[in-house]
Structure 1
């Protein structure tokens, strides 16, 4: 199948990862899939960076797209972002991503912000001495500003590149697969670390965003403002 974008390290396909199978040739899965939380209903679907409405995340009404990808991926190493408000996939360890300080206000009624996301380690992982914290943090200081990943790339779940680099740097060696590429942070992080990666994205507007980020010819470290 013809790729949407390709360079020496990264190949991106436009389409449904349940129909495009090239990503299955990779060695480790690093993905930020639809969580099953129906994002459009959370916060009214408003993009607070531009004041317009966002149509939501495709296939986010349940976890079926994520689960289908994990089924065909099989018993191989994976890192899978999720939500504490949606069913978890089978996993062997749990990491926690702490979002920027202004995150998690919408939908919170308890006084505590919803500013944490689980990251599930799936499949077999090599045995190693414990040397990393299971708490992941970013140098990005805001999620709602125009300079944030969401503000810059128009995707409400855009992850900071520094977080994705932490995860990929700890992965077993080999090609990285991202069947739900979104704004492209996983692919950019892999490229920054000199690793090959294969991505698939269903929404063509985000394919265009990813191609622009990757074709800049310079390291994209994401916003830290």
Structure 2
């Protein structure tokens, strides 16, 4: 009876020498808590929708919700479970920032940013990045991060509505303390792929299986040289 009560992890959806990926809810699969650094792009809590159509070879306007994005509860749960350890999380000015934020970075994402509010004469070219905890290293550079966002349409190569570019994720991870990187909202897998390509181990959890498939394919590809230093 006692053995039956011992929690067990599901089999990894993908695993190699550097990365372990689980398919499921990060509130139920807690292996990510064994990592050392949290780098994640959680649901922002802004009821995000996109015109992207995830059907193959089409870009017809069909709105899709981001799972768990009606409020910040998923993000807040993960940050509370993580505690005061070093963390980087993306977010939006439309939602309340995490209480433990120690530094605010701004990602300037170029022109691949979507249309935003068409009644305003500006595009939404930026996102917020929250730095939590301590131990970050490297050159003391600008808090404005200039990295081009992935193409805005599926047919042009975008794999997830809120996909982040690899060079941005590599630059952020390069300034993180040493140890295992984790992303419990793995999405298209940019955090995991960047960590692997920087020679770091990583643990990811992704709720939607179709994105687990995307991540597994990306991780199985070759290693690139970002030329990133801490």
TM-score tier after normalising by the smaller chain length: 0.7 to 0.9
C-alpha deviation, 1:110, in angstroms: 2.2
C-alpha deviation, 1:52, in angstroms: 4.7
Task: Confirm whether residue 168 of structure 1 aligns to residue 177 of structure 2.
Answer: no
Q: Pick one of 64, 68, 85 that aligns with 2:73.
A: 64
C-alpha distance in 2, partners of 1:140/1:39?
A: 17
Which of the two has higher C-alpha Rg? 2
C-alpha deviation, 1:182, in angstroms: 0.2
Displaced runs of 4 or more, over 6 A: none
Superposed, 1:28-47 pairs within 5 Å as 28-40=37-49, 45-47=50-52
Counterpart in the other structure of 1:112: 122
Q: Pick one of 5, 29, 38 that aligns with 1:20.
A: 29
CA RMSD of aligned residues (A): 2.1
C-alpha deviation, 1:103, in angstroms: 1.6
TM-score, normalization by structure 1? 0.87
Counterpart in the other structure of 2:104: 94
The 10-residue stretch of structure 1 (83-92 or 46-55) with the greater mean CA deviation from structure 2: 46-55
Name structure 2 gaps, 5 residues minimum. Answer: 1-8
C-alpha deviation, 1:133, in angstroms: 1.0
C-alpha distance in 1, partners of 2:150/2:219?
A: 23
C-alpha distance in 2, partners of 1:56/1:189?
A: 26
Deviations 1:122-176 (A, max 9, x none): 12335x686211111114574347335xx2x1x1100010100010011111100
Counterpart in the other structure of 2:146: 137
Cα pair distance change 1:4/1:136, threshold 3 Å: same
C-alpha distance in 2, partners of 1:98/1:205?
A: 28
Name structure 1 gaps, 5 residues minimum. Answer: none
TM-score, normalization by structure 2? 0.85
Counterpart in the other structure of 2:213: 208
Maintained 8 Å contact 2:39/2:87: yes
